[in-house]
Chains A and B, each alone.
Chain A
Amino acid sequence: MTVQSTRAQRVSARAGSVEFDADVLVIGGGPAGTWAAISAAEQGARVVLADKGFCGTSGATAAAGTGVWYVDPEPALREAAMANREKLGGHLQDRRWMSRVLDRTYEQSNRLADWGYPYPVDDKGKSQRNSLQGPEYMRLMRKRTKQAGVTILDHSPALELLVDEKGAVAGASGLRRQKHDRWTVRARAVVVATGGCAFLSKTLGSNVLTGDGYLMAAEAGAEFSSMEFSNPYAISAAYGSVTKTLFFGWATFTYEDGSVVPGAASKGGRSAIARALTQGPVYARLDKADGEVQRQMRVSQPNFFLPFDRTGIDPFADRFPVTLRLEGTVRGTGGLRIVDDSCATTVAGLYAAGDAATRELICGGFTGGGSHNAAWAISSGTFAGQGAADHARHFGPARGRRLSSAGIVALRQRAGRPVKPADLAKAVQNEVFPYELNYFREAGRLGGALERLDTLWTEVSQADAATADDVLRARESASMLATARWMYRSGLARQESRGMHRRDDFPDQDDRQRHYITSGGLDEVWTATRPHAEAVYAEAAE
Chain B
Amino acid sequence: MIEVIDAQSCTSCDICVNVCPTNVFDKTDGIPVIARQGDCQTCFLCELYCPEDALFVSPFAEVAQHVDLEMLRQNALLGSYRRAVGWTEETKHRREIDRSYLLFGH
A-side interface residues toward B, CB under 8 Å? 52-54, 56-59, 62-63, 67, 118-122, 128, 130-131, 133, 135-136, 154-155, 177-178, 202, 204-208, 237, 239-242, 246-247, 249-250, 293, 296-297, 299-303, 305-307, 309-311, 371
Contact = CB atoms under 8 A, between A and B. Distances in A.
Chain A to chain B: the 9 pairs with minimum beta-carbon distance, closest first: A53-B21, A131-B100, A302-B84, A58-B21, A307-B59, A241-B42, A207-B41, A63-B43, A241-B61
A507 to B, nearest CB: 28
Contacts of A118: 95-96
A239 B61 contact: yes
A211 B14 CA distance: 29
B80 A301 contact: no
* Chain B interface extent, by class: 35 or more
B94 to A, nearest CB: 7
Contact of A54 (B18, B59, B98): B18
Contact of A296 (B19, B94, B99): B99
Which of B19, B20, B48, B101 neighbours the largest number of chain A CB atoms within 10 Å of its CB? Answer: B101
A59 B45 CA distance: 11
A120 B61 contact: no
Contact of A205 (B43, B94, B101): B43
B60 A67 contact: no
A130 B105 CA distance: 12
Nearest to A66: B100
10 contacts: A56-B19, A57-B43, A63-B41, A128-B101, A205-B43, A239-B63, A241-B43, A299-B97, A301-B100, A306-B59
B19 A54 contact: yes
A155 B22 CA distance: 9
Given A63-B45, A205-B41, A302 B96 contact: no
Contacts of A130: 100-101, 104
A54 B97 contact: no
B99 A120 contact: yes
Contacts of B58: 310
A307 B103 CA distance: 21
A118 B95 CA distance: 6
A204 B80 CA distance: 19
B98 A299 contact: yes
A155 B20 CA distance: 9
B98 A133 contact: yes
Given A239-B62, A309-B80, A300 B20 contact: no
B97 A120 contact: yes
A121 B102 CA distance: 12
A429 B36 CA distance: 21
A57 B15 CA distance: 12
Contacts of A246: 100, 103-104, 106
Contacts of B81: 302-303, 306
Contacts of A303: 44, 81
B88 interface: no
A299 B99 contact: yes
Given A303-B44, A306-B59, A67 B100 contact: yes
A63 B62 CA distance: 17
Given A135-B85, A207-B41, A239-B61, A53 B97 contact: no
B94 A208 contact: no
B23 interface: yes
Contacts of B20: 53-54, 57
Given A57-B45, A118-B96, A131-B98, A208 B22 contact: yes
Contacts of B60: 239-240
B41 A202 contact: yes
Nearest to B87: A135
B59 A57 contact: no
Contacts of B61: 202, 239-241
B41 A206 contact: yes
Given A131-B104, A300-B99, 11 more contacts: A54-B19, A57-B45, A58-B21, A63-B41, A119-B98, A155-B23, A240-B60, A241-B59, A306-B59, A309-B80, A310-B58
Which of A53, A62, A242 neighbours the largest number of chain B CB atoms within 10 Å of its CB? Answer: A53
A286 to B, nearest CB: 11
Contacts of B33: none
Contacts of B45: 57, 62-63, 135
Contacts of B13: none
A240 B58 CA distance: 9
A130 B101 CA distance: 7
B64 interface: no
Nearest to A135: B48
B14 to A, nearest CB: 10
B102 A296 contact: yes
B7 interface: no
A119 B87 CA distance: 15
A169 to B, nearest CB: 26
Given A130-B104, A155-B23, A136 B95 contact: yes
A208 B19 CA distance: 13
A309 B20 CA distance: 23
Nearest to B77: A310
A59 B60 CA distance: 20
Given A208-B22, A299-B94, A250 B85 contact: no
Nearest to B40: A207
Contacts of A154: 18
B57 to A, nearest CB: 8
Contacts of B17: 178
A297 B41 CA distance: 24
Nearest to B58: A310
A252 B61 CA distance: 24
Contacts of B21: 52-54, 57-59, 62-63, 205, 208
